[in-house]
Structure 1
Amino acid sequence: MARPTRTTRALSQNFLADRATAEHLARVAVPHGRQAPLLLEVGAGKGALTERLAPRCRELRAYEIDRRLLPALHTRFSGTPHVHVIGADFLTARAPGTPFSVAGNVPFSRTAAIVDWCLRAPALTDATLLTQVEYARKRTGDYGSWTLLTVRSWPRYEWRLAGRVARTRFRPVPRVDAGIVRIERRRTPLLEPAAYDAWRRLVELGFSGVGGSLHASLRRAHPRRRVDAGFRAAGLDTGVLVGEVSPQRWLRLHEVLGA
């Protein structure tokens, strides 16, 4: 097996080397029978996923930061006019103003920044990202616990784990397996826009850790009787750890404390 170059390591590049995995990822990104109007690919690499995404969208913008890979990418997709290979860092891209999707085999070291870019894009409809498996499981609640980012964004976005990929299906082989994270913007948000600031403040206060427990943290901004009522409505024990509270139970807390 060829050893990874210094540039490959610096860019956190692990190329998909399995066609079945690329096909599965493309199917998750754009389910059978659909066609995305506009799809942005994060890190086209050598084009394994690009090739599978191309038939599933009307326009594909494939971003690749490593300029050594661009000549081969341009040649490979020269006969596919709706595929635009862009030699640039995806994170510098301006988010389209019309509905669009994102898909990609994400550089593990840049996952958080890429997810943040997606969540900030007003016209994003969905994102399908191949990340480190630990990140994928944490963000989607697969460990039975939930993170601040997931809970805070839950009224607008649904997060789910759409599969696991063995590390041996990449070249060079990373140290850990990967997971497919699927983030979908809800057609109907779970909260009205006017309520979202109160939701964000509530969740961030709960995750602050101040007071040593979720119950104690929330009492810093709300009377104990209301916090108790919220916990009863959500079916929570007062000693529950903040990470153990599902987004659905947070919504019940918000109904009581955000009123």
Structure 2
Amino acid sequence: MARPTRTSRALSQNFLADRAVAEHLAQIAVPHGRDVPLLLEVGAGKGALTEQLAPRCRELHAYEIDRRLLPVLHDRFADTPRVRVVGGDFLAARAPGTPFSVAGNVPFSRTAAIVDWCLRAPALTDATLLTQLEYARKRTGDYGNWTLLTVRSWPRYEWRLAGRVARTRFRPVPRVDAGVVRIERRRTPLLEPAARDSWRRLVELGFSGVGGSLHASLRRAHPRRRVDAAFRAAGLEPRVLVGEVHPSRWLRLHEALTR
């Protein structure tokens, strides 16, 4: 059997060292009874999560960028035909054209790029990612604030914080705890396809910070009376900070300003 390798700081490697955590993460990614034809794993590492994901899907592509770990993975899953170990950068992979899921203990330094890859994949159904806890809380609104990325993607994707993992559950032990981000494509989008461009423009304008407030930013493209009416329809105070506006209220603003 291949000898275990040391971790790489350059690759931001922190391996899951707790079987119970791996089992729980796999359960979140693929609940019992759900049929997943294809699952892509980001950063398979030594296979702790891979082992738990494999029985839950029909086909698993386990991506690992660190070629020193490939012999370990090949040995571990040599007798598991549904697991295909892929040596290379997940971000360089072409997204499948048929429905698929993503899961993984992602390198903290590459989280943003991996999430962006997932959101750009037309056939993605869901992603379950173990990230830095702060990232997970920011993106899912757990702090009571909402980021541009979350609001912009909200009509098509639901974001939620699905759990927390203590830093002591990893080897080497990172400086911060981790969080489980769950991103699910909505079966029925909250906006029609024709409204996607106007939604993106509105949200990006609101987050531009030009004018000193959300209300002032929106007045750059809409008359004050319309912005006032839209804020009343959304139940918002004129002085509300942009990050405090829940995505559902953004939908009301959009409806009022585009009808």
Q: Does 1:38 align with 2:35?
A: no
Opposite residue 192 of structure 2, the aligned amino acid is E
Superposition TM-score, scaled by structure 2 size: 0.97
Describe the superposition over 1:27-86 as per-residue Cα deviations: whole angstroms up to 9, x where unpaired.
Answer: 000011113100000000000000000000000000000011100100110001010000
Opposite residue 111 of structure 1, the aligned amino acid is T
Q: Which residue of 1 aligns with 2:15?
A: 15
Q: Which residue of 1 aligns with 2:59?
A: 59
State the aligned residue count. 255
Q: Which residue of 2 aligns with 1:214?
A: 214
- 5+ residue gaps, structure 2, are none
Opposite residue 185 of structure 2, the aligned amino acid is R
Q: Which residue of 1 aligns with 2:153?
A: 153
Q: Does 1:25 align with 2:28?
A: no
Question: Could you tell me whether the CA contact under 8 Å between 1:199 and 1:258 is conserved in 2?
Answer: no
Opposite residue 254 of structure 1, the aligned amino acid is H
Question: Could you tell me whether the CA contact under 8 Å between 1:26 and 1:49 is conserved in 2?
Answer: yes
Instruction: For residue 40 of structure 1, give the secondary structure of its aligned residue in structure 2.
Output: strand
Distance 2:239 2:220 in 1: 16
Q: Does 1:47 align with 2:47?
A: yes
Describe the superposition over 1:161-186 as per-residue Cα deviations: whole angstroms up to 9, x where unpaired.
Answer: 00000000000000000000000000
Distance 1:183 1:229 in 2: 32
Instruction: For residue 104 of structure 2, give the secondary structure of its aligned residue in structure 1.
Output: strand
- 5+ residue gaps, structure 1, are none
- The equivalences for 1:1-259 within 5 A come to 8-259=8-259
Question: Could you tell me whether the CA contact under 8 Å between 1:230 and 1:257 is conserved in 2?
Answer: yes
Instruction: For residue 84 of structure 2, give the secondary structure of its aligned residue in structure 1.
Output: strand
Which portions of structure 1, spanning 4 or more consecutive aligned residues, are displaced by more than 3 angstroms? none
Describe the superposition over 1:104-133 as per-residue Cα deviations: whole angstroms up to 9, x where unpaired.
Answer: 000000000000000000000000000000
Distance 1:115 1:84 in 2: 22
Distance 1:44 1:35 in 2: 21
Opposite residue 256 of structure 1, the aligned amino acid is A
